[in-house]
Amino acid sequence: MLEKRLLIFAVIGGDIRQAKLAELLASQGHEVRVFALDRYAFTPVIKPYSLAKEACRGVNCVVMPMPLTREQGMLNAPLSGESHDLSDLFSAVEPGTITLAGVIKEDALSLAKARNIRLIDYFLREELAISNAAITVEGAIQIAMEEMPITINQSKCLVIGNGRIGKMLAEKLRALGAKTWVMARKPADLAQIRIAGHKPLTIATLERELEQFQMIFNTAPALILGRTQLRRINSKALVIDVASRPGGLDWAAAQELGVRTKHALSLPGKVAPVTSAEIILETINFILEEEGV
């Protein structure tokens, strides 16, 4: 078990979830150094550094954020007052150091390889994806509760997509008393939706049912709600899209038609940063164990 050996971590960039992760690591007894997290007030046991090179010197593991980058080539660091070039950061990491991040793009991977950094994407781990989906589901429900002047109980909800998030979301909405419809394409999904007690919809039957829904949740990474569909949505309904950009609807048409929408991105870090940090920590522990750190 990792817990038995105390390590030195450099935690770099990221949002409040990354800050919480630093605190969790410290609470387990590890030495934790932080960089590019200047706007967060850490407990004294965590040491902020102003130079990446010093933060990374002699550490056992560097933890970078999820996602690693926002714009091209720049570190995702909303809690930092400055911009940080990923290339510079990688120069600060000592060759061979295990470096973890979530959602790493191709160019970052090449860059890391060129500098001989062992860069590992923890977002590719299925156990993280499952736990993350559960947080996303709860976040989507929170948004629906906040935005709507009606209760989820007794409301008519449509979930688009029957993947990991779609399945869980439909189940939780029903548990809260909603009447639930789920849209999918594959016959096997439609059978599963029916067996699970929701009403199945296909692309063909979606349009004629759309008007009755008060809350519509898109979880599918495909454009399902085009102009034709958006036109059928009730003016008091809310569309919450949890699919990553560009999401599942024609945003321009939605605005033009006055459809109420909410693109809910990166929910885990926003609605439950501590739970998010905990599941990242768990995954990091698994990886370090496997890598023999």
Does residue 194 touch a second copy according to CB under 8 A? yes
- Cα separation, 13 vs 32, in Å, equals 13
Strands 31-35, 260-263: pairing is unpaired
Q: Are 234 and 214 in contact (CB under 8 A)?
A: yes
Does residue 280 touch a second copy according to CB under 8 A? no
* Of 131 and 219, CB closest to a second copy: 131
Strands 61-63, 47-48: pairing is unpaired
Q: How many residues bind a second copy (CB under 8 A)?
A: 42
Q: How far is the CB of 265 from a second copy (least distance, A)?
A: 18
Q: Are 247 and 241 in contact (CB under 8 A)?
A: yes
Q: How far is the CB of 197 from a second copy (least distance, A)?
A: 5
Q: How far is the CB of 147 from a second copy (least distance, A)?
A: 11
Among 57, 105, 118, 172, binds a second copy (CB under 8 A): 172
Among 2, 109, 190, 293, binds a second copy (CB under 8 A): 190
Q: Are 156 and 217 in contact (CB under 8 A)?
A: no
- Cα separation, 55 vs 47, in Å, equals 9
Does residue 192 touch a second copy according to CB under 8 A? yes
Among 45, 114, 150, 222, binds a second copy (CB under 8 A): 150
Does residue 252 touch a second copy according to CB under 8 A? no
Would you state the structure tokens that stand for residue 255, as one six-digit string? 């605005």
* Of 84 and 167, CB closest to a second copy: 167
* Of 27 and 255, CB closest to a second copy: 27
Q: How far is the CB of 194 from a second copy (least distance, A)?
A: 7
Q: Which of 174, 171, 176, 194 is nearest to 184 (CA)?
A: 194
* Of 188 and 257, CB closest to a second copy: 188
* Of 107 and 289, CB closest to a second copy: 289
Query: Which uninterrupted H or E stretch holds 241?
Result: strand 238-241
Q: Are 16 and 36 in contact (CB under 8 A)?
A: no
Q: How far is the CB of 25 from a second copy (least distance, A)?
A: 16
Q: Among all chains, which residue has been given the structure tokens 């470096």?
A: 99
CB atoms within 10 A of CB 204: 7
Which residues have a Cβ under 8 Å from the Cβ of 58 and sit 6 or more positions away?
8, 94
Does residue 29 touch a second copy according to CB under 8 A? no
Q: Which of 172, 170, 166, 213 is nearest to 186 (CA)?
A: 166
Which 120-139 residues touch a second copy, going by CB under 8 A?
125-131, 134-135, 138
* Of 129 and 223, CB closest to a second copy: 129
- Cα separation, 24 vs 31, in Å, equals 11
* Of 197 and 226, CB closest to a second copy: 197
Write out the residues near a second copy by the rule CB under 8 A. 16, 20, 125-131, 134-135, 138, 141-142, 145-146, 148-154, 172, 175-177, 187-188, 190-192, 194-197, 271-275, 286
